[in-house]
Structure 1
Amino acid sequence: MNIQVVRPRELGEAERTRWRELQKADPSLDNPFLSVEFAVAMDRLRDYVRVAVISDAGGIAGFFPYERHSFGIGKPLGGFLTTCHGLIATPDLRLDAKALLRACKLSVFDFDHMVAGQPTFAPFEQDVRPAPIMDFTSGFDAWIDQVKSNSPKNLKTVRYKERKLGREQGELRFEWASADPEVLRTLLTWKSDQYRRTGRVDRFAQPWIVELTDMMHAERTSDFAGVLTMLYAGDVPVAGHFGLRTATTLVGWFPAYDTEFGRYSPGIVHHLQMAEAAANDGLHMVDMGKGGKEYKDWLKSGTLYVSEGRISRPSATAAVHWVGRTPLNKARTIVMDRPSLYKAADRVLKGFGRVRTSMQQQESSNGVAKEPTGAR
């Protein structure tokens, strides 16, 4: 077995074609975050992106995209931005994981959204987590019947708010795969506001993430594309989403809505209409990602599984990394596992967001300069 490490941009057309062949041959790899197009885009923006090309006597058997940070710390490609990572390889490929790390010049590799059960990483899985999906393989009507079965009250309430929104704010119109960059700007503005309002870090304060989103929005091929959707009341945008798709799977990424219309639950109304548009466009599923919001439980009609774990080679770097990361990861898992704790943490973050917003408004009214974007 031979392992060669290169930049994704250095892959030739034959290698990129092989990557796509391997991805299409294994249903568990049907995720745009595992696509070669995403790896190449990340490489254009981040110097630490690499891919291990794994070959045997028969040719290329797999690809392992990753990030190599200082001191040999390895992270999944895209890190906190993505909801799936792993080996793009033949299903039976089993490598010595520590030998793979050695070839990649990594001391440690942490993963939290690994495709569950991959032979190379399975021995290092510490936890396997469910990721709910909207499954359209039996058609949209079958999916909506499942949603109704999950919670008839929720569906009835959302359909009522949907009619009310159209009646009071203007006829509803849903746009699938908008190419308009101004529509994307509107969505990202809402999302930044949501991050700040709920006490989270605003990802779009980092220019490279905005640039990545723009690059993904411009991608439009049959195997990989950015999909921007928007729900309008009359001519006014009220809720939208930007995600990535393969030929058959759309991954949830950046949903957001205009809080002025919050009483109509426009985000959920949008999701129902997005599901119908996705099914009509030939998609088999929408992957909503693990953890998070309660709405996923009643919109789901199936489940995928991703794993969490850690691989390390003996080194001082690996020891320091373990001390810094493991307690935090365990605490996060405990919170995500317990709805009562998740709600409590969410309330605390929202309270912090309100205080931060209030302080910024006071500084603005008093003529105090705002903190520069991206300041820590």
Structure 2
Amino acid sequence: MKITIVRPGDLGAAEIARWRELQRTEPDLGNPFLSPEFTLGVGRFRDTVRVAVAEDGGEVAAFFPHERGPLGIGHPVGFGLTDLQGIVAPADLRLDARALLRACGLGVWDFDHLIARQLPFAPYHRVRRVEPVMDLGAGFAAFEEEMRRAAPKTHRTIRYKERKLGRDVGEVRYEFASSDPADLTRLMAWKSGQYTRTGRTDRFARPWIVDLVRHFHETGFGVLSVLRAGDEPVSAHFGLRDGTVMAGWFPAYDTRFARYSPGMIGHLRLAAGCAAAGITEIAMGRGGKEFKEGFKGREIVIAEGRVARPTAGAGLHWVRATPLNRARGAVLDDPRLYRHADRVLKTYARMRGRTR
């Protein structure tokens, strides 16, 4: 098998067409994070992005998008921002993962949201988890009816708070796809505030991420949805769309309206908007499991782990990253630990705020 390493912008029209063909024919590859648009977009702002193009018998058999850092340490494209990762290839492709890394000039490839069924990386899984998916294939009415049956308390709470929001503030309206840059600026400000309040790293403090999100919004790959009550913007969501699949990405809300659970109202309205726009599923990503249980229709099995070759860079990466990854994984897998860690981070954020 011949493997060629290229920059995303060097991919030709035939290669992009083949990439999309593979996405259409393989389960779960249709996710926006695995689309050429995502890799091309990140490649505009990150010079470290590369794509390994594997050819077999004169035909492209696989695409392996990745980022190459110092000392040959590799990550999925947009690592830390993506909720699904992997190689774009037929499910039965047999490719030696370490040989692939050697061709890419990588000593290690670290992953945390890998499609678990992919054969080349199966020996390197450290742990498997699941990501919830909203199933809108039968339309919104069927989705809501199933939610009403499976999570009646959650559904009743959302609808009650939606009515109360309308009575207290103004008529509740939902715009599925806003093209207004001001709406996007507001969402990023809300999200930055949330990161600060909860002690998380503010992703929008990184200029390249701001530029990336604006690029996806301008090109239509990103869909910005806004919930309003009267004239007041209450919550918003920025997701990525690839055909009939949406990947949830950045939800946020105005804390003045927190008592109305605007995020949950927004998610239900997002489901309705997606169904009306021909989207059949919304990948919700990992984390916040209790909130997402009421919305999910199925799950994607994902894996966390690393592929490594015997290099100095791989050894250094193991020392630095492995203990932290294991601790994070333990927290995500245990709801009690997750809640405790969340409280600790919020307390830290409040203390940090008082000392400024």
AA partner of residue 334 (structure 1): A
Partner of 2:148: 148
Alignment match of 2:296 (pick from 282, 300, 312) = 300
Whole-Å separation in 1 of the counterparts to 2:152 and 2:81: 33
Quick check: 1:276 aligned with 2:278?
no
Whole-Å separation in 1 of the counterparts to 2:264 and 2:190: 15
AA partner of residue 178 (structure 1): S
AA partner of residue 114 (structure 2): M
TM-score by length of 2: 0.98
TM-score by length of 1: 0.93
Per-residue CA deviations over 1:154-195 (Å, capped at 9, x if unaligned) read: 211221110000011000110011111110011111000000
Other structure's SS at 2:80 match: helix
Which of structure 1's runs of 4+ aligned residues deviate more than 3 A?
none
Displacement after TM superposition at 1:299 (Å): 1.3
Q: Which of 144-153 and 57-66 deviates more?
A: 144-153
Partner of 2:11: 11
Alignment match of 1:241 (pick from 232, 237, 243) = 237
Whole-Å separation in 2 of the counterparts to 1:203 and 1:113: 18
Partner of 1:355: 351
Displacement after TM superposition at 1:43 (Å): 1.0
Quick check: 1:232 aligned with 2:238?
no
Q: Which of 72-81 and 288-297 deviates more?
A: 288-297
Partner of 2:55: 55
Note if contact 2:91-2:117 (Cα within 8 Å) is conserved in structure 1: no
Partner of 1:289: 285
Per-residue CA deviations over 1:9-43 (Å, capped at 9, x if unaligned) read: 11111111111111111122011111111111111
Whole-Å separation in 1 of the counterparts to 2:207 and 2:289: 27
Partner of 2:206: 206
Per-residue CA deviations over 1:102-123 (Å, capped at 9, x if unaligned) read: 0000001111111111111112
Partner of 1:41: 41
Q: Unpaired runs of 5+ in structure 2?
A: none
Within a 5 Å distance, the mapping from 1:1-376 to structure 2 comes to 1-220=1-220, 225-360=221-356
Displacement after TM superposition at 1:316 (Å): 2.1
Whole-Å separation in 2 of the counterparts to 1:239 and 1:100: 43
AA partner of residue 37 (structure 1): E
Partner of 1:364: none
AA partner of residue 323 (structure 1): V
AA partner of residue 140 (structure 1): F
Displacement after TM superposition at 1:146 (Å): 2.3
Other structure's SS at 1:170 match: coil
Displacement after TM superposition at 1:272 (Å): 0.6
Displacement after TM superposition at 1:287 (Å): 0.5
Displacement after TM superposition at 1:71 (Å): 0.2
Displacement after TM superposition at 1:293 (Å): 4.2
Other structure's SS at 1:356 match: helix
How many residues are matched? 356
Whole-Å separation in 1 of the counterparts to 2:135 and 2:336: 28
Q: Which of 298-307 and 100-109 deviates more?
A: 298-307
Displacement after TM superposition at 1:356 (Å): 2.2
Whole-Å separation in 2 of the counterparts to 1:303 and 1:289: 10
Whole-Å separation in 2 of the counterparts to 1:65 and 1:278: 28
Whole-Å separation in 2 of the counterparts to 1:115 and 1:54: 19
Per-residue CA deviations over 1:198-236 (Å, capped at 9, x if unaligned) read: 11111101110000000111123xxxx211000000111
Other structure's SS at 1:227 match: strand
Whole-Å separation in 1 of the counterparts to 2:233 and 2:265: 13
What percentage of aligned pairs have identical amino acids?
A: 54
Other structure's SS at 2:65 match: strand
Per-residue CA deviations over 1:307-346 (Å, capped at 9, x if unaligned) read: 1111111122212211211111111111111111100000
Displacement after TM superposition at 1:145 (Å): 2.1
Displacement after TM superposition at 1:240 (Å): 0.6
Whole-Å separation in 2 of the counterparts to 1:358 and 1:249: 43
